[in-house]
Amino acid sequence: MRKKTNVGSKIICLNRKASFNYFFEDLLEAGIVLKGSEIKSIRNGNVNIADSYAVEKNGEIVLINSHIASYKQASYSNHSPLDDRKLLLNKREINKLIGKTQREGFTLVPTKMYFKKGKAKIELAVAKGKKQFDKRSVKKDRDWSRTKARYIRKSS
């Protein structure tokens, strides 16, 4: 009998640039404070977290520069697409993240947004930026693995 994985979770959007630009040290899950028109727009899939990041404001972690498109049917109660959105974390987790970002030079980068049991969640990565030579070596390894796979396919 096969086990089900990710029961009740549906991925909304991924930040594929983040794994190329950063080294991930730790991943954690956070809830998001959203308005009604924002969650309806997210359910339609009109969200982009490619250029977003999280920072500390007044003892809270806030997601900045995430784009949630305005919901067409919400007339006067619509939201602004680039609002700052508060993330729901425990006080202990917030203190740990603040300490890492201030002392050790890490940043908080969202890697994916998904629904878990009907609630919108975001996966944050505690990340350190890659240098240019790191990115080149990743590209070089990826190209070599593709070429190697082509050789293997042609030979068999």
pLDDT-derived band of residue 4, with 50, 70 and 90 as boundaries? Answer: low
In a domain, 138, yes or no: no
Collapsed DSSP state (helix, strand, coil) of residue 80: coil
* Antiparallel, parallel or unpaired: β 47-48 and 53-57: unpaired
Whether residue 19 contacts residue 134, with contact meaning beta carbons closer than 8 Å, is answered with: no
In a domain, 72, yes or no: yes
Which CATH number covers residue 63?
Answer: 2.40.280.10
Rounded Cα distance between 12 and 118, Å, is 12
Structural domain count, the chain: 1
In a domain, 14, yes or no: yes
- Which two tokens mark 31? 């809830």
Per-residue pLDDT at 5: 54
3 pLDDT above the threshold of 60: no
In a domain, 125, yes or no: yes
Q: pTM to 2 decimals?
A: 0.77
Domain extent for 100:
9-130
In a domain, 151, yes or no: no
- Which two tokens mark 38? 């924002």
In a domain, 62, yes or no: yes
